[in-house]
Amino acid sequence: MRYSARGYWGTAAAAIGLILLGEAFILFAMPPGVSWPKAGLFAILGVGCLSLALASYRYADEVMLQTHKTAWFWGSFGAVIAVVPVIIFVGWRLVPARIHLPPILSYPEFFFVMGMVCMIVLECIGFLLVLAFQRWLR
């Protein structure tokens, strides 16, 4: 394996750009509401972008792979730890969960989806922080 910064980061950036453009098209150009064509396009777009992002690892060397593995482990673990106080405060009703939401967004499915999205976003932020810290140590 030979590391190529442009190949590695470029392919990953292309996957992120493609998913953002595809989701914007699905959400804003297609008719509103839930439909099977939208769900199918989301699934195809997700699998395609994940495949493109995983293909970027062919441009990574062993050091990069180990660095990313460590950053994902500690970044994700840090996100899980950071969510525990939020769960406790909301569970004990010390912080109301519906404080800033309009009534139309107060159904259980919305909270489930937002919880999943927030967890993934927190894990990505944790990964980026640990990766930046590892690069700073070098």
Mean pLDDT over each residue of the chain, to the nearest integer: 84
**Residues 107, 113: contact at Cβ < 8 Å?**
no
Residue 122: which of 76, 74, 71, 56 has the closest Cα?
76
- Residue-level pLDDT at 126: 93
- Residue-level pLDDT at 102: 63
In which band, very low, low, confident or very high, does the pLDDT at 108 lie, cut at 50, 70 and 90? confident
Report the half-sphere exposure of 130 (CA within 13 A, side-chain side): 20
The dihedral through the CA atoms of 56, 73, 131, 18 has a sign that is positive
Three-state DSSP state, 28:
helix
User: Distance between CA atoms of 56 and 104, rounded to whole angstroms?
Assistant: 41
pLDDT surpassing 80 at residue 122: yes
Query: 33-50, pLDDT tens digit by residue?
Result: 888 999 999 999 999 999
Query: 74-104, pLDDT tens digit by residue?
Result: 999 999 898 888 888 877 878 776 666 666 6
In which band, very low, low, confident or very high, does the pLDDT at 56 lie, cut at 50, 70 and 90? confident
Kindly report the pTM of this predicted structure. 0.71
Range 45-74 average pLDDT: 89
The amino acid sitting at 137 is L
pLDDT surpassing 80 at residue 12: yes
Q: Is 127 exposed, middle or buried (0-12, 13-18, 19+ CB in 10 A)?
A: buried
